[in-house]
Amino acid sequence: MPATAPQPLALAPEGTVLVTGGTGTLGALTARHLAAHHGARHLLLVSRQGPDAPGATELHTELTALGAHVRIAACDTADRDQLATLLATVPDDHPLTAVVHTAGTLDDALLTDLTPDRLGTVLRPKVDALTHLHDLTLGHDLAAFVVFSSATGALGTPGQANYAAANTYADALAQRRHAAGLPATSLAWGLWETTSALTAGMTTAQQQRTRHSGVVPLTDAAGMRLLDTALTTGRPHLVPLGLDLTALRNNATAGPLPPLLRTLARGGRRPSAHTATEPADTPSLDQRLAGVDPTGRHQLLTGLVRAEAAAVLGHTSPDAVGPDDPLFEIGFDSLTAVELRNRLNAATGLQLAAAMLFDYPTPAMAAEHLQEQLAAAARADAPASRGAAEDDDPSTER
């Protein structure tokens, strides 16, 4: 990052800056920043609702007070004809000089639950809209072509395969433009502190879980500083996100991190999941299970499920999850259920079904299933172990 303060964009005073998703949370934030700090004097804000969007009138008034001439228009940028018609209305005396694409939408689901409709909903505002913006602005002398992408494309997020694909396309398009000598900056943002249309559906538990994962939400001011800095680097793809390195390293002990974050959580070889937070001489899960009767094994496994469930929900203590609490009534959904299944796989060495928690929806019931599966795995391993011992015994008849 540069040592000096980022310089404003070299925007032509009479040029028009197009902001897609311009009446949304991030679009409006960026428009204010462009007017106040980059001298943008002609702003064209577009969204599907346009001037009928909530807060559009107030936003127009606010930007006008900052000295900008503002037009808010309704346009589905994923519709090529609509976008072409809109661009044709940009006056010659205020030509298009910059594009900022902030539009996007979510439709989260497990990979096996994705449908063409769910893919289309997410891909249209990224893939289709950006393709049209790229094609239809090739004849314009742009100072900037900025895309608000998502770190999901670079890091991966459970349940967001469609969103990851859409944003990876955005990042790749920026790389292509850059290679062709065209302005391009794709910013794969992490989580924002301000609630937007994309994050409004997150529950408190999901927000807590995100924080415990090591991702720190960005304030509006921090995000705009990162935007300014990114525009000075000349790089077509950057990942601006806040990280809590201590939480990131702690999270690395519970399961694999995205490859791009693993070096940030370095500090020695990652221990196995069930021994990560315990002293080196602590007995393994197998050893502890072997030392107790069936009732004790069930209690131990119930404690394991409660601890892992609490961690998934962002709680600091397993006491937050009772042994008979219905998991889907205390904050779990299909995505977090798979995350818990993955953590239990790592802790036990089992390969549990993805739908396990739907069949065993309380910690006590899940523990009983774990106990049965561990016993079955031990029985399956026993004949192989005896056969190997017999093969190694020189007294065994051939």
Say if 275 falls within a structural domain: no
Same domain, 232 and 90: yes
Dist. CA 161–CA 304, nearest whole Å: 29
Same domain, 231 and 125: yes
Say if 133 falls within a structural domain: yes
Same domain, 244 and 296: no
pLDDT digits (tens, 9 = 90+) for 332-358: 888 788 889 988 998 898 999 988 999
Say if 388 falls within a structural domain: no
Residue type, 298: H
Confidence of residue 324 (pLDDT cuts 50, 70, 90): very high
Say if 209 falls within a structural domain: yes
Say if 273 falls within a structural domain: no
Write the CB contacts of 329 (distance below 8 Å, at least 6 apart in sequence). none
Say if 193 falls within a structural domain: yes
CA 126 to chain centroid, in Å, comes to 15
Same domain, 83 and 226: yes
Of 366 and 337, the one with more pLDDT: 366
The helix (H) or strand (E) run that includes residue 44 is strand 42-47
Domain boundary, last residue among 230, 250, 270? 250
The helix (H) or strand (E) run that includes residue 28 is helix 25-37
Same domain, 244 and 140: yes
Dist. CA 43–CA 134, nearest whole Å: 19
Same domain, 207 and 333: no
Same domain, 197 and 294: no
CATH number, position 368: 1.10.1200.10
Dist. CA 366–CA 323, nearest whole Å: 10
CA distances, 180 to each of 238, 256, 264, 347 (Å): 18, 37, 33, 49
Same domain, 173 and 71: yes
Sign, CA torsion 89/92/94/100: positive
pLDDT digits (tens, 9 = 90+) for 187-224: 999 989 886 555 555 555 555 555 556 788 999 999 99
Same domain, 139 and 199: yes
pLDDT score of 21 more than 50: yes
Return the CA Rg of the chain. 26
Say if 229 falls within a structural domain: yes
Count of domains for the chain: 2
Same domain, 26 and 135: yes
Same domain, 83 and 162: yes
pTM: 0.75
DSSP 269: P
Say if 10 falls within a structural domain: no
C-beta of residue 172 within 8 angstroms of C-beta of residue 125: no
SS3 content of the chain, % helix, strand, coil (to 5): 50, 10, 35
Same domain, 79 and 127: yes
DSSP 3-state assignment of 256?
coil
DSSP 3-state assignment of 110?
coil
The parent domain of residue 349 ranges over 288-383
CATH number, position 63: 3.40.50.720
